[in-house]
């Protein structure tokens, strides 16, 4: 590769566009976008396998800007590579309703592979993206080194990304499993918002990543302070030949070639000012008096990149034809991954009065769902406890056959909850696979930023949380989730399902897969009686028990507390009082129902909500005149029976509260 004059002019143009966009907006992050413009140009013009005319091409490589605050680095490059992002879009940077928001947003801007901004998320998610590509190649085109099913994932990451703990979790996992199609360029500019990054982050990053098992190298600046673009190119070529993930620590100077502000922390998150912008444009060989300028050579670059993309896709199409001839049966299975069909499966049905924990019921359901080739996932070192130790799924363990199968679909994440969640986001972003991630509900707090991003990007990731309440018993308040249910329910676009029994659990899994959206299924540790037949889980809430006469009170419950509500309703009826029981496994799905349905379920009588967790959100459903029976403490170390009695979650207390409410 020769980094031509066209490349240099295009990179300088991209830097100028970043300067102008931030200046026009009055806010933004110009320093990194200016300094790394040559890096983005090298990637998009010479290394990334992509086609600007077809952003959804399945055979493409993925690029993740982990330091999402430098979004103009990506937007300028997308525009100059021929993606459908216009100069006017760049002029509207960070403005309302624009295609160029402050941080890249997946599904909003063409060419953006994931939503980034929370530091560390990009690199961690990229590990899952890269694994998904390797997994597809290993499963559907085994023993073929240059399979067209395998693509690369390129990341630009910052000091902030590598400071975040999630990057350590994810990088450790990637190195252990030799996820070799992951290439990270670390922008080693020694700058943070607070000033010199070495004041808070002064590690030997190359040695650290070598210790993880990565191929890690450093690339220094040239003698005049520029990025050594030729050396970087050589290392990128070498990275694609490595049998390990690659980290390239690239020494840079933020805001280079600004005459007066190169290396200054102020350029990280603030406009550089009209005078310095003009001076920097001069240093870039641009007209300081022209705004949003795109010279003819940069337009030539656009033509070249688009032509290259068309040729790459044409070559890929030929490789796919060869693959279909080489592996006709597997190729057919691969192409059918986009069609998830559970209609032929025999989802378990559980007999009434059977005693089984919903985590155990979930595992029985998953054993059947594992027949779906799309299903992949695992647990953060709690597979048996979470009910995801699916016996029919071989365990993946990379190239180390001592522990597992290269084409395995069950992952052992180790105690890395946060990286696990981001990893599964990456799988969903880059493949038709349907990932799940499992741990105890209390540890959802460790995963919340990744869960939030899954919801923000509307990714079909299922988060499996067992040990759902004080019902887990003697492990005590450190492990008893109280506020977590409403914390998850407060997350927009995330469905939170807490089944009452085994049959609701089975129905919940079916609905989750059919909806193709992010969901959290909340499961009990303790055994629960099977009390439902053909439950209407898809409606979110439904009448489970209807009294002989018009209800005088409505009992709403989820999970293990539904059985208490049913028992209370029966006892009330024996005393001449009539209670309807509403099982409400998923309030998000219930809120989607027509007003008429919701009124038919809840209107017409005072209401009591019963749940072994924080009561904070239930008043929306019971109203100011209703009662919420919940847990306003952190629990205690004792048997579930003792704890339910201690916090008043008993049939007797529900009956007493109902009588008081009616009085």
Tokens 């008429």 correspond to: 596
Q: Is 64 helix (H, G, I), strand (E, B) or coil?
A: strand
Cα 533 to the chain's mean position, in Å? 34
Task: Give the max Cα distance, the chain.
Answer: 91
**Cα distances (Å, whole numbers) of residue 297 to 116, 294, 300, 539:** 31, 8, 5, 58
176: its two tokens? 């252990």
CA dist 493 and 347 (Å) reads: 26
End-to-end CA distance of the chain: 84
Sheet with 410-412: strands ordered across: 395-396, 410-412, 375-379, 434-440, 462-466, 519-522, 495-497
Nearest-CA neighbor of 336 among 417, 243, 433? 433
**How big is the chain by its Cα radius of gyration, in Å?**
28
CA dist 225 and 15 (Å) reads: 16
Residue 224 neighbours by CB distance under 10 Å: 6
240: its two tokens? 């694609």
Residues in the chain: 663
Q: Are strands 191-192 and 182-188 parallel, antiparallel or unpaired?
A: unpaired
CB-based contact 115:456 (threshold 8 Å)? yes
Asked about 417 being catalytic, the answer comes back as yes
Nearest-CA neighbor of 377 among 519, 478, 537? 519
455: its two tokens? 């919801």
Q: Are strands 410-412 and 395-396 parallel, antiparallel or unpaired?
A: parallel
CA dist 184 and 123 (Å) reads: 8
Peptide bond into 573 cis (omega under 30): no
Residue 110 neighbours by CB distance under 10 Å: 14
The catalytically annotated residue of 113, 235, 417, 561 is 417
CB-based contact 635:477 (threshold 8 Å)? yes
CA dist 154 and 532 (Å) reads: 49
Tokens 């952190």 correspond to: 634
Residue 341 neighbours by CB distance under 10 Å: 10
3-state helix, strand, coil in the chain (%, to 5): 45, 15, 45
Residue 96 neighbours by CB distance under 10 Å: 6
CB-based contact 367:391 (threshold 8 Å)? yes
Helix (H) or strand (E) holding 503: helix 502-515
Residue 586 neighbours by CB distance under 10 Å: 28
- Please work out, in degrees rounded to the nearest 5, the angle formed at the alpha carbon of residue 64 by the alpha carbons of 331 and 66: 145
442: its two tokens? 């209390």
Q: Which residues are catalytic?
A: 417
């Amino acid at each position: 590769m020769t980094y031509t004059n066209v490349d240099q002019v295009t990179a300088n143009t991209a830097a100028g566009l970043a300067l102008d966009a931030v200046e026009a907006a009055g806010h933004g992050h110009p320093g990194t976008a200016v300094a790394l413009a040559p890096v983005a140009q090298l990637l998009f013009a010479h290394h990334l396998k992509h086609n600007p005319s077809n952003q959804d091409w399945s055979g493409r490589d993925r690029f993740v800007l982990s330091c999402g605050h430098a979004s103009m680095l990506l937007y300028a490059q997308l525009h100059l590579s021929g993606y459908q992002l216009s100069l006017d879009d760049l002029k509207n940077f960070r403005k309302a309703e624009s295609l160029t928001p402050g941080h890249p947003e997946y599904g909003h801007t063409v060419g953006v592979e994931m939503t980034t901004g929370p530091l560390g998320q990009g690199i961690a998610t990229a590990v899952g993206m890269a694994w998904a590509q390797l997994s597809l190649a290993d499963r559907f085109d085994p023993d073929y080194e240059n399979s067209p099913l395998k693509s690369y994932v390129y990341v630009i990451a910052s000091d902030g990304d590598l400071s975040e703990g999630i990057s350590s979790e994810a990088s450790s996992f990637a190195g252990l499993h030799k996820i070799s199609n992951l290439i990270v360029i670390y922008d080693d500019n020694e700058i943070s918002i607070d000033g010199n990054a070495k004041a808070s982050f002064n590690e030997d990053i190359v040695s650290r990543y070598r210790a993880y098992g990565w191929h890690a190298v450093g690339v220094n600046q040239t003698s005049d302070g520029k990025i050594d673009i030729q050396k970087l190119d050589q290392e990128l070529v070498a990275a694609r030949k490595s049998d390990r993930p690659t980290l390239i620590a690239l020494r840079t100077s933020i805001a280079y070639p600004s005459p007066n502000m190169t290396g200054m922390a102020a350029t990280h998150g603030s406009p550089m000012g009209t005078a310095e912008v003009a001076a920097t444009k001069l240093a870039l060989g641009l007209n300081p008096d022209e705004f949003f300028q795109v010279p003819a050579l940069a337009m030539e670059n656009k033509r070249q990149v688009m032509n290259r993309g068309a040729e790459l896709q044409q070559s890929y199409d030929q490789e796919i034809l060869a693959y279909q001839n080489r592996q006709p049966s597997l190729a057919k299975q691969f192409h059918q991954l986009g069609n998830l069909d559970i209609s032929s499966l025999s989802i378990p049905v559980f007999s009434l009065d059977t005693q089984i924990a919903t985590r155990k019921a979930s595992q029985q359901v998953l054993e059947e769902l594992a027949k779906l080739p799309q299903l992949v996932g695992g647990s953060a070192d709690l597979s048996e406890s979470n009910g995801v130790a699916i016996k029919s799924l071989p365990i993946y363990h990379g190239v180390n056959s001592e522990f597992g199968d290269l084409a395995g679909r069950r992952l052992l994440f180790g105690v890395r909850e946060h990286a696990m969640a981001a990893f599964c986001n990456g799988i969903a972003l880059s493949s038709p696979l349907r990932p799940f991630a499992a741990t105890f509900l209390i540890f959802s707090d460790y995963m919340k930023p990744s869960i939030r991003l899954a919801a923000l990007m509307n990714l079909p990731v299922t988060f499996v949380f067992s040990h759902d309440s004080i019902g887990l018993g003697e492990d005590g308040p450190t492990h008893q989730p109280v506020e977590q249910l409403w914390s998850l329910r407060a997350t927009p676009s995330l469905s939170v399902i807490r089944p009452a029994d085994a049959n609701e659990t089975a129905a919940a899994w079916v609905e989750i897969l059919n909806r193709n959206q992010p969901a959290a299924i909340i499961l009990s540790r303790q055994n629960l009686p099977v009390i439902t037949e053909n439950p209407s889980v898809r409606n979110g809430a439904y009448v489970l028990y209807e009294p002989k006469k018009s209800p005088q009170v409505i009992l709403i419950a989820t999970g293990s507390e539904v059985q208490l509500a049913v028992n209370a309703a029966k006892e009330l009826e024996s005393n001449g009082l009539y209670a309807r029981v509403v099982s409400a496994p998923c309030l998000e799905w219930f809120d989607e129902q027509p007003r008429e349905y919701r009124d038919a379920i809840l209107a017409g009588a005072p209401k009591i909500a019963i749940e072994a967790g924080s009561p904070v959100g239930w008043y929306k459903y019971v109203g100011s005149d209703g009662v919420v029976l919940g847990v306003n403490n952190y629990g205690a170390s004792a048997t579930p029976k003792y704890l339910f009695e201690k916090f008043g979650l008993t049939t007797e207390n529900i009956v007493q509260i109902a009588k008081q409410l009616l009085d």
